Amino acid sequence: MRLRRLLIFFQSVILSSSMLANSIAAEPNASGDAISASNLNAIVQTLSSEAFEGRAPGTPGEEKTVNYLIDKMAAMGLEPGGTDGSWTQDVAMMRTQVKSPIAMTFTTGPGRLALEQGISASIDTAGSSTRVTAEKIPVVFVGFGTHAPEQDWDDYGDIDLKGKLAIYLVNDPDFAATPEEPAAGRFGNRRMTYYGRWAYKYEEAARRGAFGALVIHETEAAGYDWSVAAAGAGENVSLGVKNPAAPPIKMQGWIHNDAATRLFTQAGYDLNALRVAARDPEFRAFEMKGTHFSTELEVDVTQFDSRNVLGVIKGKARPNEILMASAHWDAYGIGAPDKLGRTVRGGANDDALGSAGILELARILARGPALDRSVVFAFWTAEEAGLVGSMAYAEDPVYPLETTVANFTLDILQTAGAARDVILVGKGQSDLEDDLARHAQNQGRYVTEETLPENGLFYRADHFSMARGGVPVLLIMGIAGGSDLVTGGRAAGEQWIADYVGNCYHKPCDAWSDNWDLTGAIQDIELFKELIMELGNSTRWPEWKPGSEFKGLRDQSSESRSH
Ligand SMILES: [Zn+2]
């Protein structure tokens, strides 16, 4: 009851202010100084409509989405924020599909072990070759494959990985460590660090010139079960133009724990004992004696172009200092019909709602007096394919990352109403979390840490592309933890996530509904507005906290941030 009255009050405020201000869009939107639920709803309804075909990169849905975002920002009076004075940044994309059947065989002396795609392995390729082969190449067990100079930890030692297959343990060295072990606490304990992500392991293997990398799947340490690991089915979508100095590995993926156990036993090793040994800082990678790997992959390779969309409000005093607010515009396109016959996966919440939130931030900041620093509003392509658009930006940024103050990312907002708390993803990373706590307190709210930090959500949305480039980041992600809802408390917040993730996430069911209560989502967007306005008129540079794996990189460019 209280909630409903608040909503009616809120809507009436918006109505009266919209009568005073100029109408800015074709949609019958409110245009006051407050983040507007009716605006958010209207934007989401448009972006997630059938006409936009689920916003898949490289489809007519992309054309409509990109034009829509540009029209919106132009109407608000933003300036183009993309490449060469345009509204966009080109992202060359490549889709590879490894064709089945795939021959993958280990030989251990006289022994043989064949892997089967989807059953005992799940592999793909990020290279552009249509045919990939390996003939009896050496196999190296690299443990967790962690090279962390700040922790004085190096699993590789002198090993040469060139042209070899590297086998990795999932997660990082202290995930399963007991408190007495030397690894304990050095990699966030149960919290996953970047070193625990498969993406890091593939990158490290590529830097060392390996032919390929296989990660041994374990459900708990991976954060998902084998069916999810195997769901990739040989497909990979990545940046089309790679740094020629660091070509990707030719084969990457998972090996099922049972197959790995058999392989190690057959080769004369005890995998469980090696798991424990790899948690010791003295562990070093080694070539598995008498063990070789052969494969033949036929690959379909498709190249296509997509676009990030960017607008900017220039700062009045220090326009080269950039605050960035972002979301991803892409969704899952058209798929098989669901029970209701729906085929368009419109991603209403993921991430049309986040995009709508960024557009609302842009609208409000464009109305107010200019800040000292510039604010860039970025809408990334191909997040769902693996953060491709944001990674493309971070590799070739329109605005230098060294002088990008912070990135604020919205990816899924809860639609179950007002919340007493805001969920923090990646606790202990940067001092932006202290700012978030302060502004939440101003709203009468408090901060709750994400529910499952061991799942590494901090490494799984677009903000991470910026973090990897050294930029301090904050992510708001509605599925990171159940909110303490004003109506129904934590249980209701958790129920909302269970319903959304269980039924709708990445499916046609992720559709706009007139049951949405955006009060809590608006509170979260307000937090970003307050943070951006405060930092926008400040000379402060937020910093990574000691112990963050991104601090070292940021510190290298500290010269460019001295005033
Ligand atoms: Zn998303």
How many angstroms does the Cα of residue 446 sit away from the middle of ligand 1?
24
Six token digits for residue 430:
């940067």
pLDDT at position 260 is 98
C-alpha of residue 38 to centroid of ligand 1, in Å: 22
Amino acid at 252: Q
CA of 474 from ligand 1 middle (Å) equals 15
**Interior angle at CA 279, CA 218 and CA 203, nearest 5:** 65
Q: Which residue has the tokens 């918006």?
A: 14
Distance 506 CA to ligand 1 centre (A): 9
Average pLDDT value over all residues in the chain: 91
373-380 and 318-328: which strand pairing?
A: parallel
Q: How many Å lie between the centroid of ligand 1 and the Cα of residue 383? A: 7
Rounded CA-CA distance 401/393 in Å is 10
Q: How confident is the model at residue 266 (pLDDT cuts 50, 70, 90)?
A: very high
47 CA to middle of ligand 1, Å? 14
What spacing in Å lies between the alpha carbon of 334 and ligand 1's midpoint?
16
- What pLDDT, on a 0 to 100 scale, did the predictor assign at position 496? 95
Which tens digits make up the pLDDT trace of 95-121? 899 998 899 999 998 899 999 999 999
Which neighbouring-strand residues pair with 563?
A: none
Name the strand (E) or helix (H) holding 264: helix 257-266
Region of poorest pLDDT, from 51-55, 70-74, 138-142, 459-463: 459-463
* Distance from residue 185's CA to the centre of ligand 1 (Å): 30
The answer to whether residue 348 scores a pLDDT higher than 70 is yes
Query: What separation in Å is there between the alpha carbon of 166 and the centre of ligand 1?
Result: 31
Alpha-carbon distance values, 266 to 141, 262, 283, 286 (Å): 14, 6, 22, 16
What's the 54 CA to ligand 1 centre distance in angstroms?
Answer: 13
Q: Yes or no: say if 293 and 344 are a contact pair by the CB < 8 Å rule.
A: no
Contact call for residues 226 and 166 (beta carbons, < 8 A): no
Query: Which two three-digit tokens encode residue 449?
Result: 């840490």
CA of 330 to the centre of ligand 1 (A): 8
Q: Assess whether pLDDT exceeds 80 at residue 13.
A: no
386 against 390, higher pLDDT: 390
Q: Three-state DSSP class for 432?
A: helix
Q: Could you tell me the distance, in angstroms and rounded to a whole number, from the CA of residue 505 to the centre of ligand 1? A: 9
- Interval between CA 45 and ligand 1 midpoint (Å): 17
**pLDDT tens-digit readout, 272-306:** 999 999 999 999 999 999 999 999 999 999 999 99
Q: Ligand 1 centre from 332 Cα, in Å?
A: 10
Q: 163 CA distance to ligand 1 centroid (A)?
A: 35
25: pLDDT strictly greater than 90 = no
Residue 241 has pLDDT above 70, yes or no: no
Q: For 180, list phi and psi in degrees, rounded to 5.
A: -80, -20
What are 138's strand-pairing partners?
292
Pick from 229, 170, 219: nearest CA to 198: 170
Q: What residue has token string 């400040």?
A: 538
Judge contact between 181 and 316, C-beta under 8 A.
no
> From the CA of 537, how far away is ligand 1's center (Å)?
30
Angle value at C-alpha 279, between 276 and 282, nearest 5 degrees: 110
Report how far ligand 1's centroid is from the alpha carbon of 353 (Å): 10
Q: What is the pLDDT of residue 225?
A: 84
CA of 462 to the centre of ligand 1 (A): 8
Percentage of the chain surpassing pLDDT 70? 93
Q: Is the Cα torsion angle 509, 513, 517, 519 positive or negative in sign?
A: positive
Is 2's pLDDT higher than 70? no
DSSP 372: S
What spacing in Å lies between the alpha carbon of 476 and ligand 1's midpoint?
A: 11
Residue 194 alpha carbon to ligand 1 centre in Å? 19
Inter-residue contact 165 to 211 (CB < 8 Å):
yes
- pLDDT, greater one: 85 or 456: 85
**The pLDDT of residue 27 is above 60:** no
Q: How far is the CA of 347 from the centre of ligand 1 (A)?
A: 8
- Tell me the per-residue pLDDT of 191-200, one tens digit each, with 9 for 90 and over: 778 898 888 9
Q: Could you tell me the distance, in angstroms and rounded to a whole number, from the CA of residue 384 to the centre of ligand 1?
A: 7
Please give the backbone phi and psi of residue 509, each rounded to the nearest 5 degrees, phi first.
-65, -15
Q: How far apart are CA 499 and CA 512, in angstroms?
A: 15
Give residue 451's pLDDT band: very low, low, confident or very high (50, 70, 90).
Answer: confident
Among the ranges given (189-193, 408-412, 465-469), the one the predictor scored with the smallest mean pLDDT:
189-193
Q: State the pLDDT at residue 267.
A: 97
Burial of 212 (0-12, 13-18, 19+ CB in 10 A): buried
CA of 48 from ligand 1 middle (Å) equals 13
Strand pairing category for 235-239 and 212-216: unpaired
- 142 CA from centroid of ligand 1 (Å): 32
Angstrom CA distances, 50 to 44, 61, 358, 377, stand at 12, 9, 22, 25
User: According to the model, what pLDDT value does residue 223 have?
Assistant: 77
For ligand 1, a single-atom ion, which residues have Cβ within 5 Å? 350-351, 411
- pLDDT range class, residue 21, cuts 50, 70, 90: very low
pLDDT recorded at residue 17: 38
Mean pLDDT lowest among 154-158, 163-167, 416-420, 425-429: 425-429
Question: What pLDDT does residue 473 have?
Answer: 98
Q: Calculate mean pLDDT across residues 482-502.
A: 94
Counting residues of the chain whose pLDDT is more than 90, the rounded percentage is 76
Centre of ligand 1 to C-alpha 259, Å, is: 33
Tell me the one-letter amino acid at 72. K
Listed residue (172, 262, 166, 241) closest to 207, CA to CA: 166
Looking at residue 559, its pLDDT comes to 93
CB 313 within 8 A of CB 79: yes
Question: SS3 sequence, 130-144?
Answer: CEEEEEEEEEEECCC
Q: Model confidence at 374, in pLDDT bands (50, 70, 90)?
A: very high
The confidence band for 244, taking pLDDT boundaries of 50, 70 and 90, is low
pLDDT band (50, 70, 90) for residue 243 = low
Pairing state between β 344-345 and 333-334: antiparallel
Q: What ranges in 368-455 are assigned the alpha helix state H?
A: 388-395, 432-442
More confident residue, 455 or 418: 418
C-alpha of residue 304 to centroid of ligand 1, in Å: 21
Residue 23 has pLDDT above 50, yes or no: no
User: Per-residue pLDDT averaged across 443-458, rounded?
Assistant: 87
Report CA(351)–ligand 1 centroid distance (Å). 5
From residue 369, how far is each of 195, 265, 313 by CA, in Å?
43, 68, 11
pLDDT given at position 109 = 85
How many angstroms is it from 448 CA to the middle of ligand 1? 21
Which string of DSSP letters, residue by residue, matches 474-513? EEE-TTSS---BTTTHHHHHHHHHHHIIIIITTSTT----
Rounded distance from Cα 399 to ligand 1 centre (Å): 23
- Say how many Å lie between the CA of residue 451 and the centre of ligand 1: 18
* Identity of the highest mean pLDDT range in 82-86, 230-234, 342-346: 82-86
| Cα–Cα dist 355/361, whole Å | 10
**C-beta neighbour count of 400 within 10 angstroms:** 12
Contacts of 380 (CB under 8 A, 6+ apart): 308, 326, 327, 328, 329, 330, 387, 389, 390, 393, 462
Distance 331 CA to ligand 1 centre (A): 8
